[in-house]
Structure 1
């Protein structure tokens, strides 16, 4: 039962990450993104994965942790791409002024 509840929690969190990635890609700005927050979530998932490995608990919950980590990690390059868009836009606005 604990594994089922843990999986439910991970699935609930996990469903929000693809939505976040798509939103961040479409927005083409890093203004509403926080690299610190993204990295904090990544570290949390790594800690959860490490705990499962240390306990030798190789089951479907570990798969969900890894999937969530992969999806959240997509936001890291998106953040830097969006920062470049922000810099280009700021430069364009400065030149246009």
Structure 2
């Protein structure tokens, strides 16, 4: 039963990441984004994945952790692309 609730949490979080990646890609700016926030989320997913691996509790939920960390990683990469674009546009120093 606990796995079902864990899956629900991971899926709900996971739905938001493709939307965030799309918004970051289209916006071409870091304004309104927080790198620290995304890094904490990334660390949280690393912790969850490590927990699953160390307890050898690899279930279907594990796939969603991997999918989510990939999405967060893409969003972090877009942050750095957008930061460079902000500098070129003179929006930040």
Q: What is the TM-score with the length of structure 2 in the denominator?
A: 0.94
Structure 1 unmatched ranges of 5 or more: 92-97
Q: Using the TM superposition, give the Cα deviation of residue 9 of structure 1 relative to its aligned residue in structure 2, in angstroms.
A: 0.5
For the pair shown, which has the larger CA radius of gyration, 1 or 2?
1
Q: Deviation digits for residues 4-40 of structure 1, max 9, x if unmatched?
A: 1100100000000000000011000001111111110
User: SS in structure 2 opposite 1:19?
Assistant: helix
Aligned-residue Cα RMSD (Å) equals 1.0
Which structure shows the bigger proportion of residues in helix conformation?
1
Structure-1 separation of matches of 2:72 and 2:48: 14
Matched, 1:17 2:17: yes
User: SS in structure 1 opposite 2:22?
Assistant: helix
Q: How many pairs does the alignment contain?
A: 91
2:88 corresponds in structure 1 to 88
Q: Which runs of 4+ in 1 moved over 3 A?
A: none
Q: Using the TM superposition, give the Cα deviation of residue 89 of structure 1 relative to its aligned residue in structure 2, in angstroms.
A: 0.9
Structure 2 unmatched ranges of 5 or more: none
Q: What is the TM-score with the length of structure 1 in the denominator?
A: 0.90
1:95 corresponds in structure 2 to none
1:57 corresponds in structure 2 to 57
Q: Deviation digits for residues 25-82 of structure 1, max 9, x if unmatched?
A: 1000001111111110000000001111111101101111111101111011100110
